[in-house]
Structure 1
Amino acid sequence: MASDPFAHPSSQSSSFTLVGVPRLEAFSTCLGILFCLAYIISLVGNGVVLLVLGLDTSLRLPVHGFLAMLAGIDLVMVTSVVPKMLGIFWLNSTEIGYTSCFVQMFLVHSTTSEESGVLLAMAVDRYVAICHPLRYQAILDRQTVAQIGLAILARGLLFMAPLTGMVTSLPYCRSHLVPHSYCEHVAVAKLACADPRPVGLYSVAGSSLIVGMDLAFISVSYGMILKTALRKKSCWKALSTCGCHLCVLLLYYVPGMVSIYVQQFGSSLSLQAQVLLADLYLALPTMLNPIIYSMRTRQIRRAVLRVFRSRKVHT
């Protein structure tokens, strides 16, 4: 008896097939090298930040807690995607299990929401430190920082739980070929034989709300910082810091939102450009965050030197 080609994955196939970057298969080795280098830099950079923040007892300010959260989220985000991408590019390991696909989807999209929340928290932290320095410790005490951290994690999980439920409940009776480098939720939902539009609309509405609110508060925070800095001698230093932070924010928010809107509403942008945009949106900020937010901070640079010097002495 012939198998039903429109059966649910659980009854016919327990996996999806990831394409990688469509129509760029000839450059898979080069793409793999680029993403491998980005992954190594992300691992080393964020790993060093976590190591130093954990070992150096002088780094216990609220901002250091947010930096640790950012580094941890970045490690989860990039590790949930890049190793599988390298398997696709270098080993032609394109198959991903049904459960693994949805776990990857959940991790990728929940961590992107959480990262946005941490970037907002860090902007607020800088606002309090610069505009209300005498009240910094009182406003951002240990309990408040813990509550902010829990709120960030809860928001990411609450945003992704319904979306994951919507995607997993769809009947996948068509091709299991995902034209992407990872299990991007819209690309997976489009493979269903049911209407995928509710998934896309929820994603667009939820992402727009989260990003819109976070960007609004971040803009207000940096606006107040610049207003205060213009009255002080540290004006150029503040402008330089804010400029670097804003560049990283643009690299994080713009590709992510463009990718979501393009996939939902269509565009003249080629498929390979859409996939590369989504890939860079995950890999590039995780590589730059430790450099821009941590290593440019004099206190952390000195702590890194202290930690590694003490290691040399003990060895």
Structure 2
Amino acid sequence: MQETPFCLRVGHLLPYSMSDSNTTDFTNPSTFILLGIPGLEVVHVWISIPFCTMYVIAVFGNFIILFIMKREPSLHGPMYYFLCMLAVTDLVVSMSTLPKMLNIFWVSSREIDFSTCLTQMYFIHCFTAMESGIFVAMALDRYVAICDPLRHSTILTNSLVAKIGLAVVLRGIMLRLPHPILARWWPYCRTNIIPQTYCEHMAVVNLARTDIRISSYYDLFVVFSVIGLDVFFIVVSYIQILRAIFILPTKKAWHKTFGTCISHLCVILAFYIPALFSFLTHHFGHNVPLHFHVLIANVYLLVPPMLNPIIYGVRTKQIRDRLLQIFTYKGT
């Protein structure tokens, strides 16, 4: 039995007054309407304050990471190359989403061009897939550095790091490419209103007035093949890392290494937990309040780009020392 189109299921939740152009049948709408956070429109300005703060920290922090990496030759190593890749993905994700969110919150600029919406959707999902792959690569780097430190430089050569980086990028590009292609293909429903702050894949295709099982099943395949496999490899890596930590000879070394691993795990959990919640809610959690779902979907895109430069930058001694040198020099 074909599922009722999402636009009809949530129509009673949408406070936005639709114009006649938004209520006619169309194959490809010229624009979509992003509602923001449905049910919380009266506090959009207040919600924008932490969102804007996280955006500024994310952009400033990741640019600082890239600047320090470029200026400091001693940081040209596997872990730092992966950290640069992570900073770039965080910048792309932040800049693809936050400016439009703030327009919605501040000036109620809700319209987004159909092609722009699909482009935003592709960039978000493509680069979050890349970010997941980078976390696996960083877990591998930590595994080799802790479990086989004497061979770290011979195992993770620049050539291997480049191949891993290329594989991560190509995987994200290829696996997410069908999303905008399928989304452009579907005929759409009597509304072009998206109850979101950005063009999320399932939120867009659920507006289609046809059977979207291809998109839904492919989304399930991508998430389980990307997040499922990545989480598995990360868990295996950190199990081995923790086993190696517990046999360290001194408590000082144990606490230092364990503290670094815990901070890395916190960043990884901040990325995967909201991502999985948002994904499962789209497919199975129809009883979850819409405003709560949208807030978690925003946390998934906002918090990791803010946390990554703080955790990896502040807790990495070489980066912290170099940053202090820059500010000390400017202050003298």
Place the TM-score, normalised by the shorter chain, in its bin.
over 0.9
Name whichever of 288-297 and 232-241 sits farther off.
Answer: 232-241
- Bigger shift: residues 93-102 or 196-205: 196-205
Moved over 6 A (4+): none
- Structure 1 residue 109 displacement after superposition: 0.4
Q: Matches of 1:294 and 1:131 in 2, distance apart?
A: 23
Structure 1: stretches of 5+ with no match in the other structure? none
> Does structure 2 retain, via aligned residues, the 8 Å contact 1:120–1:218?
yes
Pair 1:265-2:284 in alignment: yes
- Asked if 1:281 is matched to 2:300, the reply is yes
What amino acid maps onto 1:7 in structure 2? F
1:113 aligned residue (129, 142, 156): 129
Structure 1, residues 61-96: CA drift from partner, whole Å, max 9, x if none?
110100000001000001100110000000100000
Kindly state the Cα deviation for residue 310 of structure 1 after the two structures are TM-superposed. 4.5
Partner of 1:7: 26
What is the CA distance between 1:173 and its match in structure 2?
Answer: 3.8
2:117 is aligned with 1:98: no
**3-state SS of 1:171 partner:** coil
In 2, Cα distance between equivalents of 1:150 and 1:312: 40
SS at match of 1:58: helix
- Partner secondary structure for residue 80 of structure 1: helix
* Cα-to-partner distance string for 1:254-300 (whole Å, 9 max, x where unaligned): 11111111111233210000110100100001100111122211111
For 1:220 and 1:129, how far apart are their aligned partners in 2?
A: 15
The Cα offsets for residues 14-39 of structure 1, whole Å up to 9 and x where unpaired, read as 11000000010011001111100000
Structure-1 residue corresponding to 2:151: 135
Task: Compute the displacement of 1:197 (Å).
Answer: 2.5
When normalised by structure 2's length, the TM-score is: 0.90
Counting matched residue pairs gives: 309
Task: Report if aligned partners of 1:14, 1:98 keep a CA contact under 8 Å in 2.
Answer: yes
Q: For 1:154 and 1:307, how far apart are their aligned partners in 2? A: 36
1:46 to 57, 62, 87: 62
Rounded to whole Å, the distance in 1 between the matches of 2:92 and 2:297 is: 17
Tell me how far 1:168 sits from its aligned partner.
1.4
Partner of 1:67: 83
Give 3-state SS (helix, strand or coil) of 2:32's partner: strand
Instruction: Specify the SS of the correspondent of 1:81.
Output: helix
What is the correspondence of 1:149-160 to structure 2 with a 5 Å cutoff? 149-160=165-176
Structure-1 residue corresponding to 2:95: 79
Q: Which residue of 1 aligns with 2:204?
A: 188
C-alpha distance in 2 between matches for 1:254 and 1:197:
25
Tell me the equivalent position of 2:3: none
2:24, 2:191 within 8 Å by CA — same for their partners in 1? no
Q: Are the equivalent residues in 2 in contact too, given 1:55–1:307 (CA < 8 A)?
A: no
Q: Provide the rounded CA distance (Å) in 1 between the counterparts of 2:179 and 2:42.
A: 34
- Look up the equivalent residue of 1:216 and give its one-letter code: F
Q: Partners in 2 of 1:188 and 1:304 — Cα distance?
A: 42
| Secondary structure in structure 2 of the residue aligned to 1:269 | coil
Equivalent residue letter for 1:287: M
Would you say the 8 A contact 1:67–1:294 is kept in 2?
no
Shift of 1:312: 5.3
Which amino acid letter does the alignment assign opposite residue 8 of structure 1? T
Separation in structure 1 between the aligned mates of residue 283 and residue 135 of structure 2, nearest angstrom: 26
| Mapped pair 1:225 → 2:244 | no
2:266 is equivalent to residue 247 of structure 1: yes
TM-score normalised by structure 1 residue count: 0.94
Which position in structure 2 is the counterpart of 1:57?
Answer: 73
Mark the runs of 5 or more structure 2 residues left unpaired by the alignment.
1-19
Alignment deviations for residues 132-152 of structure 1 (CA, whole Å, 9 cap, x no partner): 111111111111000010000
Equivalent pair of 2:186/2:210 in contact (CA under 8 Å): yes
CA distance in 2 between partners of 1:57 and 1:21 (Å): 45
User: Residues 163-202 of structure 1: matches in 2 within 5 Å?
Assistant: 163-202=179-218
Percentage of matched positions with identical amino acids: 42
The aligned counterpart of 2:325 is: 306
Which amino acid letter does the alignment assign opposite residue 185 of structure 2?
S
**Segment drifting more, 165-174 vs 86-95:** 165-174
Question: For residues 129 and 20 of structure 1, what CA distance do their matches in structure 2 show?
Answer: 44
